[in-house]
Amino acid sequence: MKSKLSILVLFVLAGVLALVNPVKGESNNISNIELVELGDIDDQVLFDLRERLEKLFGISVSIITHMPDTDYAYDGNRNQYDSMAILSKMPKPDDKNLKIVGITDHDLYAPGRKFVFGENDAAKGVCVISLARLHQSYYGFPEDRALFLERALKEVAHEVGHLIGLSYSPEADNVMHPYENIEEIDCINNYYCIDKK
């Protein structure tokens, strides 16, 4: 009886762990992430972000630099860039397990929204994030590089989470929680749904 109970407990535990930590390489449709520089991004930001993403996801992250800027997506009336237009121009990866993350310094919007921190096309396997509103200086405060990089990691992890099939979380501290402002991003401290450490 004890051994049957032990086996049952192990199966239940394995099921819980699979739900809590769904990213396990190929089986969850991710083997590599490409960070694509859209415009002119500080190289050190890209290097730091790559290092943090490799640690978080436990996979290889490469950087593609000097891609064309996103002038085609600019809306002069809003002084912003259309995230959906950018996504439509991003190439679909040949490998379904490769996820492409476009990174821009431009402020982004989506139809019906004042702004977006990022946007994704899960069917295509691509997303784009904006660094513009992740800087403390955007809000009139002195720049804080560590906080900026933490916010960028959260935004990339959130969008890549959607690319690998994760839905929104109701938990406010979870990286997959939907957020509308920088304060909500700063409340995120839980990566358990994608953390491979």
Residue 148's CATH number: 3.40.390.10
Q: Does residue 197 lie in a domain region?
A: no
Domain that holds residue 86: 2-186
Residues whose CB is less than 8 angstroms from the CB of residue 135 and which lie 6 or more positions away in sequence, other chains included:
143, 148
Rounded CA separation 177/184 (Å) = 9
Q: Does residue 18 lie in a domain region?
A: yes
Q: Does residue 111 lie in a domain region?
A: yes
Question: Binning pLDDT at 50, 70 and 90, where does residue 16 land?
Answer: very low
Catalytic residue among 159, 171, 180, 184: 159
Q: Does residue 195 lie in a domain region?
A: no
Q: Which residue in the block uniquely carries the two structure tokens 């009139």?
A: 140
Pick from 98, 96, 116: nearest CA to 108: 116
Q: Does residue 119 lie in a domain region?
A: yes
Helix (H, G, I), strand (E, B) or coil at 82: strand
Evaluate if residue 24 carries a pLDDT over 60.
Answer: no
Q: Does residue 140 lie in a domain region?
A: yes
Question: Binning pLDDT at 50, 70 and 90, where does residue 194 land?
Answer: low
- Helix/strand number for the chain, H first, E second: 5, 8
Q: Tell me whether residue 26 is one of the annotated catalytic residues.
A: no
Q: What is the mean pLDDT of residues 11-33?
A: 46
Q: What is the mean pLDDT of residues 138-164?
A: 96
Q: Which of 8-12, 17-21, 127-131 has the lowest mean pLDDT?
A: 8-12
Rounded CA separation 170/142 (Å) = 32
Rounded CA separation 64/18 (Å) = 32
Q: Give rounded-to-5 percent helix, strand, coil for the chain.
A: 40, 20, 40
Question: Which pTM was predicted?
Answer: 0.82
Q: Provide the greatest CA pair distance for the chain.
A: 72
Evaluate if residue 176 carries a pLDDT over 50.
Answer: yes
* Number of domains comprising the chain: 1
Residue 189's pLDDT is 87
Residue 67's pLDDT is 74
Q: Does residue 193 lie in a domain region?
A: no
Q: Does residue 108 lie in a domain region?
A: yes
